[in-house]
Amino acid sequence: MTDVLVCVKRVPDTSGEVVLSADGSGVDGRYAGYTMSSHEECAVEIAVSVAGDTGGSVTVLTLGDDDSVEQLRAALAVGADEAVRIDAPADDYGPADVAAAIAEVVRARESEGRPFDLVLVGNDAADTGDHQVGIRLAHLLDRPVVAGAQEVAVVGDRLDVRSSVSGPTEVFDVPLPAVLTVWEGGVEPRYPNISGRMKAKKARVEVLEPSGVPQGSGRLGLRVLPPPASNVEVLGEGKAAAPRLVDVLRELGVVR
């Protein structure tokens, strides 16, 4: 029975254009909507399958304002059993603050006698890309951590973890309890079905207050890089452009 905590972050969807808020302090997601990192979608998938395989449970957690319940419900719809929201403005929390707030929840559950055997986070959040919440959390909890985990299986009281993000597949064998930061690519996140969506809509979300005062992210300012002036040279249309394209390939020295 592996009880899993999986942490997701509500972020502006920036698949289209990136727009800053009026005061320039953050990215405005009001028009394009919000999402979570694809690493986190994979973390949710791993959580649900690990819990399914071992008869354990999945709790999904976010630190954010009331709106971030949307991301919790997305995880509930694909099989998470419980949801927790740490009520705090995510932009005021740096990665060390987020790790401390998550650690507080993990410790509280431990002292209630319902510990999380496995804590999953994304390798990096889609907006701030700090690459460190999972590792800081592992240090706070004094647990081993593997970053870039893509495939995970529970074997007794240990985890078999695979990662191919730095080339060939690296296999880790780590004792539980552990922390993993998940990288997209090892699992295919499932889609919610109707009954999952209905369940998620009605599910209760536990709201917790963080006790610490955040140190903040240290952000002094943001600027959107202006799109570089286009200097594209259109070589032509359709197959008629092939000879010119080949000339360019020759000029670039990629064909002889």
Ligand X SMILES: Nc1ncnc2c1ncn2[C@@H]1O[C@H](COP(=O)(O)O)[C@@H](O)[C@H]1O
CB of 98 to ligand X, least distance (A): 4
8 Å CB contact between 184 and 38: yes
CA distance readout (Å), 29 to 87, 128, 222, 229:
19, 14, 15, 25
Return the range that interacts with ligand FAD (CB under 6 A); candidates 22-30, 31-39, 171-179, 228-236: 31-39
Rule CB under 6 A: say whether 35 interacts with ligand FAD.
yes
* The one among 12, 56, 64, 148 contacting ligand X by CB under 6 A: 64
Kindly tell me which of 202 and 239 has the beta carbon lying closer to ligand FAD.
Answer: 239
8 Å CB contact between 84 and 57: no
Residue 35, token pair as written in the block: 């999402």
* The one among 27, 60, 98, 146 contacting ligand X by CB under 6 A: 98
Rule CB under 6 A: say whether 39 interacts with ligand X.
yes
For residue 102, count other CB atoms closer than 10 A to its CB. 27
* Dihedral of alpha carbons 90, 94, 95, 99, sign: negative
Kindly tell me which of 36 and 77 has the beta carbon lying closer to ligand X.
Answer: 36
Rule CB under 6 A: say whether 123 interacts with ligand FAD.
no
DSSP 102-122: HHHHHHHHHHTT---SEEEEE
Kindly tell me which of 77 and 133 has the beta carbon lying closer to ligand X.
Answer: 133
Length of the chain: 256
Partner that binds at residue 25, options ligand X, another protein, ligand FAD, none, CB closer than 5 to 8 Å by kind: none
Rule CB under 8 A: say whether 220 interacts with another protein.
yes
Query: Rule CB under 6 A: which residues touch ligand X?
Result: 7-9, 37, 39-40, 61-64, 90, 95, 98, 121-122, 124-125, 128-134
